[in-house]
A and B are shown apart, each in its own frame.
Chain A
Amino acid sequence: MSRHPAARVLGALLLLALLGAALLRGVTFRAEMSDLLPPGSTPGAEFLLRELRSGAATTLLLAGIEGAPEPELARLSRAVADGLRASGRFAFVGNGVQDLDEAERDLLFRYRYLLSPATSPALFEAPALRDKMVALLDGLRSAASPLLARFGFADPAGAFFALLGAWMGESHVALREGVWFAEGAAAPRALIIARAKASGTDLDAQAATVGAFHEAYEAAKPAEGARLLVSGPGVFSTAAAAAVRADVQMISVLSGLLIAAFLWWRYRSLLMLAAVAVPLLAGTLAGTLAVALAFGAVNGAAFGFGMTMLGIIADYPVLLVTQRRPGERLEETARRLWPTLRLAAAAATLGLSAMLASGFPLLAQLGLFGAAGLLTGVAVTRWGLPWLLPGQAIGPRPLPLPLARALAGLRGARWPLLALPLAALALLATGGPRWNQDLNRLSPVPQAQRDLDAELRRQLGAPDVGTLIALGGEDAESVLRAAERVGAALGPLVAQGAIGGFDSPARTLPSAATQRARQGMLPDAEALRARVATAAAGLPFRANAFDRFVAGVAESRALPPLTPAGLAEAPALSARLALLLSERGGTWQGLVVPSGVRDMPALRKAVDGLGDPGILLVAVKAETEGVVAATTAQALRWAALGGLGVLVLLAAVLGRQRGGAMAGLRAALRTATPIGGALLVTLALLNLGGQLLTPFHLVALLLSAGVGMDYALFLGSAAPAIPGDAAAEAERTLGSVLNCTVTTLLTFGLLAFCGTPVLRGIGLTVALGVAAAFTLALALAPRLRTHP
C-alpha cells in the first residue's frame, strides 16, 4: 500500500466496501414480522403470538380490485381468480364464483342428516313430515320449483337447505355481476380472498403467492385506471421491509450529504471526510456480522435501525482529529485520549448490551448491532486512523466569533441547570412518561397498508376479532367436541344478548360423536316408509315420490362420520374450517370466535364454567396490550440495570484515575449528572410533545446517554496538561465536542421526518438527548482559569 495518506484512506475505504459487499451477499436478511413481536408471558398472550406468527390467518390473502366500472372489475375478478386457481399455489380462492362445485355439493348432500343441526327424531315422524310435504307442494308452484323438485323429494325434511342457509346466513358480501363486491363502498371494489398452501412462516413462498396475485392481474390485461390492492402477512413483511429500506436510504443519502457539507465547512479537507467514513463503515459491518453470527440472520428492520444508530460512530474520529495539539502526531493524540475514549465507548456499549437480555428479538438484535458497532468504531479510530493519517495535519478552522463567544459564555454557566427542575416539574405535571400500549406502533408496516387491511377485512366480513376462545386437543375430534361444549355454553348468552353470535368449527363440521348421535335419530327404512305413506295420505304425490328420501336416510345411517380429512373433497368448506380448526406439530387447535360481545364478564363466566383447562378465553386487545406493557417494563428494567452498570463502571475507572473510591464516585456523579439531566429533559420534552414511549425509545435513550458520556467526559476532564495553553486546549476540546453534536443532530434530526414510526421515535429521542447533553455538559464543565 502506498505511503500517501489519501491512497491509504481510499484503499481502506475500498477494502471495507468490498468486505461490505461480500457480507451483504453472505448474510441472510429476513423481514419476519415475528421478530418484531415481543415474547408472550401469559398463556393467552403466547397463544396469540403463536397465531400471529404461524396461525391460519397468516396464510390468508385479501384483495380488492377498483378503479374501473363494475363489469370490468367483475371480469378482472374472474380472470384473477382463475389465474390464482391455475397457479396451484392456493388451497382456496373465493371471489363469489362457483363456491360450491358439483362434487362438493354431492358430498354435503350425502351427509346432510349428519351435518345438519336440524336433524332430530321428531323431524322424521309423520306429523313433521306432512308439514314439510305441504310446504314442498307450495314451493313446487313457485318459480323456485326446479330446485325444489331436484332436492325436495330426496330431502323433504329440508336438512340440506337448512345446512346451506346456516352457512349462507353469515355472508356479508354483495354479489354483483356474479362476483363479490364491497357493500356500501363509495367506488365499486371487487373482493377476492385466497388461502395460500404455503405455511405462514415460509416467507419466500409467501412472497411468491403475493407475486402470483400480481401476475394473474397483469395477465388479465386490466383497463386503464384499474388497481389491484393486496393485503396479508406476506404483503406486510414486504411493505415493512420496503418502508424501512426507503427511510434508511433517504436518511443515509441526506444525512451523508449534510454531514459532508458540515465537515467540509469545519475542516476544508476531503481526507477528513474519508477518515470519518472509515470507522463508520467498519462499525456498521461489524454490527451486521455480529448479529448475523449470533442470530443466524439479520432482521431488515434491525439492520435499518442499527445503521442509522451507528451514525454516532462519526463522533470518535471527529474527537480524535479535532483534539490534536499543534505539532502532535495523531498516534500521540490517540494514546492521550484513549483512556477517556475507551471509557466512553465501554460505558455506551454496556448500556446497549443490556438490551441483549430484553427477550425481545428486535431489541436484542439492535443492542448487539449497536454494541459491536461502537466497539469496532472506537477501535478503528484508536489504531486505524493514526496509521491511515500519519503526520497529516487536518485541523478545524476556528469557530465563527459570535458562536465561540456564545459557547464560552455557556461554559460553566450554571443557569442551564434550571432546566432540570423544570423538566422534573413538567414530567410530574403531565403524569410521568406515557407508555405505548399499541402493538401496531412497534411495527414498521406502513399505516396505509394497515388501514387497507382493516378495510378489506371489514368488507369481506372478517373483521379483526376482539375476543376468541382457543381450544386445544390431541386430535380433531376432541377439539370439535370441545367446540360443541363451548357452543352449548354460549347458546344461552346469544339468547340473552350478552353476545351477538359466534362462529365455531363444529358448525361447519360436527364432531364424530354428534354425527353418530344424529345417525341414531334416523328411523330404519321400514319405519320411515310407513311414516312417509301416512304423511303423504291425501296429498297428490305418487307412491314412489319419496323413494330417494327413504334410500338417502338408510344410506345416512351407514355412513362413516365425516372427518377433516374426508372434507378434503370440499374445498370451500375446508377453507372455511381451516380458519377455525388446524393441526400443528401433532396437536390440534380450534377457535370459537364470539362476535358482538356486550357482556364480557358473562362470557368469561360461561367459559370458566366449563372447567376445562384446554379451553382458553383470549381478549385480544387486552392481551396484546399486556404483551407490550410487559415488554416495555422488561426493557425498562434492563435499561435501568444497564444505566447502573455504567455508573459503577464510571466510578471504578474514574476512581482509579483519581486515586480513591470517593473521588471516583464524585467524578462519576459529575459525569453522570449532565447525562441523567439530559435524559430527564428529553423525557419531559417527549412527553410534552405527546410521544408515547416504546422500547425503541429506551434504546434511543441509552444511545443518547452513551453519546452524552463522550461530551461529559471530554468537557468535564481535568485542567489541561500544558500550562499556559489551557485556553487553546479547552477550545479544541469544545470545538471537537460541538462538531460531534452537530453531526449527530444532522443524522438524527433527519430521522424525525421518516415514515416509519420507530425511526421517527429514535430520531427525535436521540436528537433531543444529544442537544440537552451537550448544553448540560458544557454548563457543568469547569470554568477556564484564564480568558483569551
Chain B
Amino acid sequence: MPATHFLPAFLAVLVCACSGNPWNSPYPAADAGKNILYAAFAERPKHLDPVQSYSSNEILFTAQIYEPPLQYHYLKRPYELIPASAAKMPEVHYFDEKGARLGDNVDAGQIAFTVYEISIKSGIRYQPHPAFARDPQGEFLYHRLGEEDVRGIYRLSDFPQTGSRELTAADYVFQVKRLAHPRLHSPIFGLMSDYIVGLKEYATTLEMAAKERSGERKEQGEQSSREQDGEDYLDLARYPLEGAEVVDRYTYRIKIRGKYPQFRYWLAMPFFAPIPWEAERFYSQKGLSEKNISLDWYPVGTGPYMLSENNPNRIMVLEKNPNFHGEAYPSEGMPGDAEGGLLEDAGKPLPFIEKVIYSRERESIPRWNKFLQGYYDASNIGSDSFDQAVQLTGQGEATVTEAMKEQGIRLETAVATSTNYVGFNMFDPVVGGVGKRGREAARKLRQAISIAVDYEEYVSIFANGRGIPAQSPIAPGIAGHREGKEGINPVVYEWVDGRPRRKPIGVARALLAEAGYPNGISARTGEPLVLYFDVTARGAEDKSSLDWMRKQFQKLNIQLVVRSTDYNRFQDKIRKGNAQIFEWGWNADYPDPENFLFLLHGPQQKVGNEGENASNYSNPEYNRLFEQMKNMENGPVRQKIIDRMIDILRHDAPWLWGYHPKDYGLYHSWYGNVKPNRLSNNNVKYLRIDGVLREQKRREWNEPIVWPAIAGLIALAGSLLPAALVYRRRERGTGISDAALKMEAQGRRVGDA
C-alpha cells in the first residue's frame, strides 16, 4: 500500500496537470470553484461534547454545530445578546425565600431565587443522525446493537440509516442535568453548582445511581470496567433536578440561587445547548466507544452545520445541516458597517457557505505559505511574518504591505476581550508586605515598578504594536471600561496633550525610596533589592523579552532574577503561593466586568481556595463592592461602583496591568462579511466566499515552474558526463596504456641499437 502510494506520485502530479488544478493544490480538483471555506487548525480538539468543551480550538467547531438558546449579535458593539434557538429573550423572574414573586427592580439582597423561563422556537429539527433512525414499526434501529452489529462499523457514516426529530425543551433540561454527570467532568460544574438549584446534590444522586448500576452489573456477572463494556447509560429522565424543569414542549425553566445576571451569557455558550437523550443512549452502547464513536467525537446538533468528517489528525469537515431551521443575516449594525459592505446581505438566509474544511497545520510556516498561495482563506499573523504582512502608516495605523495589497489581501483588527498582566503574589513578604507598615511599603514598591515597566515599549517591540497598554483589568469594549482622560491609571500615567503619558522614572524612584529602598538598596539592611520573576520555561527566542524585563527593573536599580520552570511546576508555585512576580493572562468568558474583576476578588484566591485570583489579592472594601456590583445590571450606579473598585486596584497595584492584545487577521479578497470578535464563536454562518474568484486567483498565483528542475537534472547529468567518458575509455583500454607500450618499444629499440 505505501509503495503504491509512492510509485504513482508523478502520475498523480500528471493528473493534476491535466485536470487544470494547480500542481501544488492540496485539494481535489473536483472541489475547485465550490462554495467551500478553507481554514487551518493547529491543535486537535480534545472534546466536542458541549458539556466538556471549553477551549477556543474546540468551540471553533462546537459553536457551528450546537445551538444554545441565545447568541451575540454579529455586528453590534458592545456585544448584545439576541435569541438563537430561543423564540425570544428569556423571561427573568425573582423570588424570595418563601417562593413569593418579587418585582423586577427589587434589591439583589432580597432575591433568594431567580427563574429563567426560556421558550424555544417550534419546528427546529436535529441534523440527520443514526441515533434517531427508526424501523417501520417506529422502533429505534440502532439502540440495541450487539457485538455482530458493530463489527463492521468504524465511523458514524457506516450506519446506513439516519433520522431526525424535533427539538424540544426537554433536550435543554437534559443538557443541564448532564453538567452534573459523574463521567463527564464538566469544567463549569463547580461554578454552576453554586447557582443552579440542586445541581450539587444531583451530582451525588447520579454518582450513587452509577455505582448501583455498576454493582448490579457485577452481580449479574458482567464486566464492570467501563473500558471493557462501554454500557454506562444513565437515564437522566429518571432523576429530576429541581433547578431545571420542562414547562411544556417548547418551554423550560432554570432556577438559580440569588441574583446572577451574568447567567444569561452562559446561555449563549454550548454548555447550555440541547442534547437529545437518543444520542446519549446510542453512544453508550458496547463496542462504539472503542472505535471512538462517541458524543465527544461525533456531535449531534441543530445548528447551521454538522460535522461530516472528523479526523482531527488531518482534516475536520463541516457541512451544511439540511435540517437547519433557517435564520436571516442581520439588518442592523454599527456605523461604518454598511460602508464596509457588512450589510449587503441583510435579511438573506443563512448560512452562505456550503462546506468548511479545516486542515490540521501544526507548523506556522506551511500555514502562512498556503495562505499566500490562496489555499487558506484567512490567516493570523505570526511574529516571523509580521513585517512581510503589515506596515504602519505615518499616523501609526496598521495596514497591509504593498505585496499583500497586490494580492488583494486585507487586514481586520479587533481588540481582544482579554488581558495579559504581571501579577504580584500578595502573600510574598517583599512585594505583598507583612504588617501594616510592611504592606504600605510593598504597595509603594509595586506602584514604583508599575511606572518603571514600560508596556508601550513592550507592545511595540514584542507584540509588533498589537496591543493596548492596560489601565485596569477591564478590556476595551466591556462595560465598565472607560476611555480617554477619565480612563487612565493616575498612579502610572498623566494626561498630556490629549493622551496618556507614562510618569517619569523619577516618580518611581521617589516611590521606591518611600518604600524603604532608596536607589534600589534596602534602607534597613543595606542590601540591594533582589526580586524574582517566575515564568514558564522558554526557548531562546524569548530571552530578549526576559532581558527587556530585567532592564525595566534595572531602571530602579532592582535586580530581577528570572526563575524559569516548566508549566506544571509554574502552576504548582502559583497554587501554593510560592511565586513572587509572575506572568498570567485571562480571556473573558462573557462581556461583563464581573468576568475580569473577579480575578482580584478575595474569596477567589488561588492559595487555599483554588480560585482564579492568582495574586491572592484581597481588599475588604473591594470585596464588598464586588459582591454589590456583580449582581447589578449595567448602568450609572454600577459604573460608579466599578470606578471605585478600579481606583482601589490602581492604588493597591496588585498587578502590572500589562496590555490588552489586539487580534490581527488577514483575509483574501474573496472572503466577505468579516467582523472579527472573540466572544461570539458561531460566525461561520455569516461568512461568504466567492469560490470562482478564488479559483481564478489560485491558478494565477500557482503556475508551475518546471525549468529549474529540468535544468538541475541536465546539470547533474552533464557533471557526470566526463566521468562516464573516462569510464568508457578505461573499460575499452588495455591493461597497459598506449604510452607505456610506446615507451617500452622505444626502450627496446635503444637497447637493440
A and B: real partners? Answer: no
B residues lining the A interface (CB < 8 Å): none
A interface list, Cβ under 8 A from B:
none
